[in-house]
Chain A
Amino acid sequence: MAIAILYDSTACIGCRECESACSERWKLPYNDKIAAEEKTSARKLTTIRTHGERFSRKLCMHCMDPACVSVCPVGALEKTRNGPVVYDEGKCMGCRYCMVACPFEVPSYEWNAFIPKVRKCDLCADLTAKGGKSRCTEVCPVEATLTGDRAEMIAEARRRMAESPEKYYPKIYGLTEAGGTSVLILSAVPFEQLGYPANLPQRKLPEYTWAVLQHIPDITAVGAVFLGGVYWITHRRERVAAEEGGR
């Protein structure tokens, strides 16, 4: 089973209980000032954003084939079979390629720390691995955030949309974005109005780099034969000339 989060922004009341529970889990400070920041950072791993009367929530999307995992040169990021994308600070060397590559601009960095690390939501991997729910799900008073099997979450999203089609923009965000994500989002309006990137490829992002990387063995083999051959030809001509006493 692979779990996913379903966030229904039409149900969200912007109470920020998810923010506070998340900060508590990571032992990060949380107060009114931090609550008002409305952007994710190394000290705020999920945030509610206000758009007039509407709210949206930003957290790691836990892509099915995450760009951050594919680009990490030391495998410090990992997509677990259960769904969460988790980070191992012991492996990380701080190249920040994950931050450059993430299509949702999720990973944050501890810019001022002496021993800095990347910070991001881990979908409460320890809790969800035991069949539990994420902290943000547990504290949500209006079921705007749910945790469960991805297929069931998609079914739940479709059920809500079918029940009251007038309430929803007809699309589940995260179904195919960047090849699909383990966070699914519902909205009343087009998603870019809530701050979700709209121009994402539907293709898995790691395929863009793999298209080139996969040729490395070929380049190496062909290159070695080609260069060896050129060397042999160019120098043989010289040797023959020397033996014939020419030049």
Chain B
Amino acid sequence: MTLAGIRITFWRIVFGVLMVLAAYAAYVRFFHGLGASTNLSDQFPWGIWIGFDVLCGVGLAAGGFTLAAIVHIFNIKTYEPIVRPAILTAFLGYLLVVVALMFDLGKPWNIWHPLIMWNPRSVMFEVGWCVTLYTTVLFLEFVPMVLERFRMERAQRIMRLISIPVIIAGVILSTLHQSSLGTLFLILPQKMHPLWYSPLLPLHFYISAIAVGLAMTIFESWHSARAFGRALEFPLIQRLSRLLSVAIAVYLAMRFMDLRNRHAFGALNVNELESWLFAMEIVLMLVPMLLLFRDRTRERPFAIYVAVVMFLLGFVTHRLNVSVTALERSAGVSYIPKWTEVAVTLGIIAAGFAMFRLAARYLPVFEDHGHAPEAASVQAEKALAAAPVAGD
């Protein structure tokens, strides 16, 4: 079906509906204030715009620095074909995090204040600076795709000259602020539930960000392969998923050792919401880890995809548990986001998908950027799926 020359598909309708809802939610937010558009209160000042949009958004964009480091610093060339999509995801991700922040900040027009009004003791100050600088780095890593598209030779040469220092800066900045998102909560030892408070929160956030960065790279490879009828870089995805299972294992080992050392398992109680959400978080990480350890899972693209989606959900559950669940008891309130909060969040996710799609269509993001005929690539995918894992 087409309307005014635009092909109408299911996902385009979903996208349109989400955009309308998000636009109305934005109107409520900016013309009637945070009180009218959120379920936040003095007792519960941070909701899903921080817990999901910022904490998860920044984490989900971690593939950019992880893959840039693997390929350009550690010189593991195998992964080269997926660096660009990872950097694109990261760049779009950070832009969207800034958009979400504009919704959440009471006075968004003052968002630049940390750049001139310093307070180096503040974790938020450090996060603000790192995110600003790293978004600049991501822009510099992204811009070669545009320059290449328009064949701007001289600019490309300059970019190549500065690329390594830029990439190194990006890895350091990411290390700092990915962990700092966990440090934000260190000042709440008495407010947070013992299942989530830990002096090691920065490390947990950092390691889980690396894992989720890999997971997002697989996720978007799978989707763009389908969307553009492109061959999935399957042997690469297999290697990545093996890497991912190890990253999850390292994370879970750290998490369990930490819980045991702090005697936090005593806080588990069958009848409490916290315990159930904790169980959900752990299961959604443990199961995909076990699945990805199995050779048989790694032989099938769809099985890998399912495991990856589970892990993404587990990651989101952890971040929401830290920022929402862990604080509800001490605050004495139970926070459930208002529909406007959810609408803005879904709108931002949808915008992310749409922007990625546009960029992937018009910029040289993938090596064979989308010109392969559909039938051939599906064949190729099948062939790759059937191929033995020996090449792995």
**Which B residues lie within 8 Å of A213 (CB)?**
120-121, 123, 126, 180, 183
Tell me the residues in window 176-220 of chain A with beta carbons closer than 8 Å to chain B beta carbons: 197, 199-201, 205-206, 208-213, 216, 219-220
Interface residue? B16 (CB, 8 A): no
Could you mark each residue 308-332 of chain B with 1 if its beta carbon is under 8 Å from any beta carbon of chain A, else 0? 0000000000000000000100010
B176 touches A41 (CB 8 A): no
Q: Chain B interface mostly helix, strand, loop or mixed?
A: helix
Minimum CB–CB distance from A24 to chain B (whole Å) comes to: 22
Question: With a CB–CB cut-off of 8 A, which chain A residues contact B176?
Answer: 216, 219-220
Task: Kindly provide the distance from the CB of A142 to the nearest chain B CB, expressed in whole angstroms.
Answer: 29
A-B contact count (CB 8 A): 164
Q: Complex Cα distance A64/B187, Å? A: 15
Question: Could you say which of B33-41, B221-229, B265-273, B282-290 contacts chain A?
Answer: B33-41
Interface residues of B in 63-85 (CB under 8 A from A): 69, 72-75
Q: How large is the interface on B (under 10, 10 to 19, 20 to 34, 35 or more residues)?
A: 35 or more
Per-position contact with A for B81-124: 1 when CB-CB < 8 Å, else 0? 00000000000000000000000111110110110011111111
Known A67-B187, A114-B33, A238-B75; contact A220-B172, beta-carbon cutoff 8 A: yes
Contacts of A100 in B (CB 8 A): 45-46, 188, 327
Interface string of A104-147 (1 = CB under 8 A from B): 01011101111111000000000000000000000000000000
- Quick one: given A112-B36, A200-B190, A219-B172, are A92 and B122 in contact (CB under 8 Å)? no
Q: Is A165 an interface position by the 8 A CB rule?
A: no
- Whether A92 pairs with B107 at a CB distance below 8 angstroms is yes
With contact pairs A75-B119, A100-B45 given, residues A94 and B187 touching in the complex (Cβ less than 8 Å): no
| Residues from 183 to 227 in B contacting A, C-beta threshold 8 Å | 183-184, 186-191, 199, 202
Q: Complex Cα distance A230/B73, Å?
A: 6
Residue of B whose beta carbon sits closest to that of A113: B33
Complex contacts, B121 vs chain A, CB 8 Å: 70, 206, 209-210, 213
18 contacts between A and B (CB under 8 A): A41-B42, A73-B124, A74-B113, A74-B114, A74-B117, A76-B117, A92-B107, A93-B105, A95-B105, A95-B106, A111-B34, A116-B106, A117-B106, A205-B189, A213-B123, A213-B180, A230-B74, A234-B74
Task: Report which A residues bind B (CB closer than 8 A).
Answer: 40-42, 67, 70-76, 91-97, 99-101, 103, 105, 107-109, 111-117, 197, 199-201, 205-206, 208-213, 216, 219-220, 223-224, 227-228, 230-231, 234-235, 238
